[in-house]
Amino acid sequence: MDLEQTIVDKYRLEKRIGNGAFGDIYLARHLTTKQKFACKVEKVSEKHPQLKYEERVYHYLKGGKGIPTVYFYGEVGDYYCMVMDLLGRSLEDLFCFCNKKFSLKTVLMLGDQMLQRIEFVHINNFLHRDIKPDNFLMGNGKNSHILYIIDFGLAKRFVDPKTGEHIPYRDGKSLTGTARYASLNTHIGQEQARRDDIESIAFVMIYFLKGCLPWQGVSGDTKEEKYQKIKEKKIDTPITDLSKNLPSQFLKFFELVRNIGFEDTPDYVALRTLLAEMFTNKNFQNDFQYDWVIKANKMSKGRYHSLTNDNRKTKEFYQGKHHYKGIQSKSMERKGRKRAQDSGKFSTQA
């Protein structure tokens, strides 16, 4: 898309900051206020368009905590454009920044927010169906401690808006979402339901704590063969192995999730309570001091030291030479500590 393109005489595209299977994302700036936004674009000629549907989902979720606001959607030349909040880095980016290992404290703070976000999506009768670290981003500025959920191109209503009834159970379905984090039921070919979004969150937490999942690295000559091998590995991996060497609450978490029926409403409170128990048992403070915040602050203290080959990439990351800026500042660190002192509770309520 032409970088000189203006959108409804309000926004000007500046540079591409990301891309995905369904289009590109550009940095846009408001012509009057100079405020920065993200602009997701998709060609009008796209054979399988997603953006219009995604914009409608954002409309239904409007106003929710951790849901980006959409400011404009429409046709601009040969493209459909959606202007929305510019967020910080994805959890996958931050995970790599932290050498692919998060502490228990960081995972619990993130896990609590992930459950809050997906509960809100479910309350509004949608399934996300593509839960993964890339689809959770941290906020910017005063909201840099808040986790946002994005990318609703694969979302689906699980309640018929006309009848109010839950969608019927079906099998023989093809895999929708990302194989690494998809639930076992999804691999088997069952129609997805709320339980499957929750199981994907559980896989994400294990990934963050252990650095990988047992089925990572599985290969195949075709995508279908690879998916089949991942499915077989998930079937052969008991939840006791997934939660091995972790607090016992993770096994209980998986047990709760695997016992949710197709039409059942997950017990979000019980799931978040398990995370809160671990948080309390470890005497953690809910100060929003995520691992990347601590690492960035350490780098800040020594950022004028000479660079070596080993720390050049993390140095550049801290300085913002990446497609999203989202490292929490020292002022946010102080605000986070004050919130912890004021609340004294685990739940972020973010």
**Known binding residues for ATP:** 40
CB 270 within 8 A of CB 310: no
The whole-angstrom separation of Cα 350 and Cα 336 is: 12
List, in sequence order, every beta strand (DSSP E) within 188-333. Answer: none
Task: Let me know: does 87 contact 148? Beta carbons within 8 Å.
Answer: yes
**Any idea which residue has 């032409």 for tokens?**
2
User: Is the distance from CB of 185 to CB of 200 less than 8 angstroms?
Assistant: no
3-state secondary structure at position 7: strand
**Closest to 253 measured CA to CA, from 108, 132, 129:** 108
Chain centroid, CA 250 distance in Å: 20
Phi, psi of 188 (to 5 degrees): -70, -20
Check if the beta carbon of residue 228 is closer than 8 Å to that of residue 235: no
Cβ atoms of 281 and 346 within 8 Å: the answer is no
- Residues making up the annotated binding site are 40
**Catalytic option among 130, 151, 196, 291:** 130
130 is known as an active-site residue: yes
Of the candidates 36, 39, 34, the one whose C-alpha atom is nearest the C-alpha of residue 72 is: 39
Instruction: Report whether 17 contacts 323 (CB < 8 A).
Output: yes
Q: Report the alpha-carbon distance of residue 236 to residue 230 in Å, rounded.
A: 10
Helices assigned H by DSSP within 98-210:
104-123, 184-188, 194-210
With beta carbons less than 8 A apart as the criterion, state whether 147 and 89 touch: no
For the CA atoms of 321, 327, 331, 333, what is the dihedral angle to 10 degrees? -150
Catalytically active residues are 130
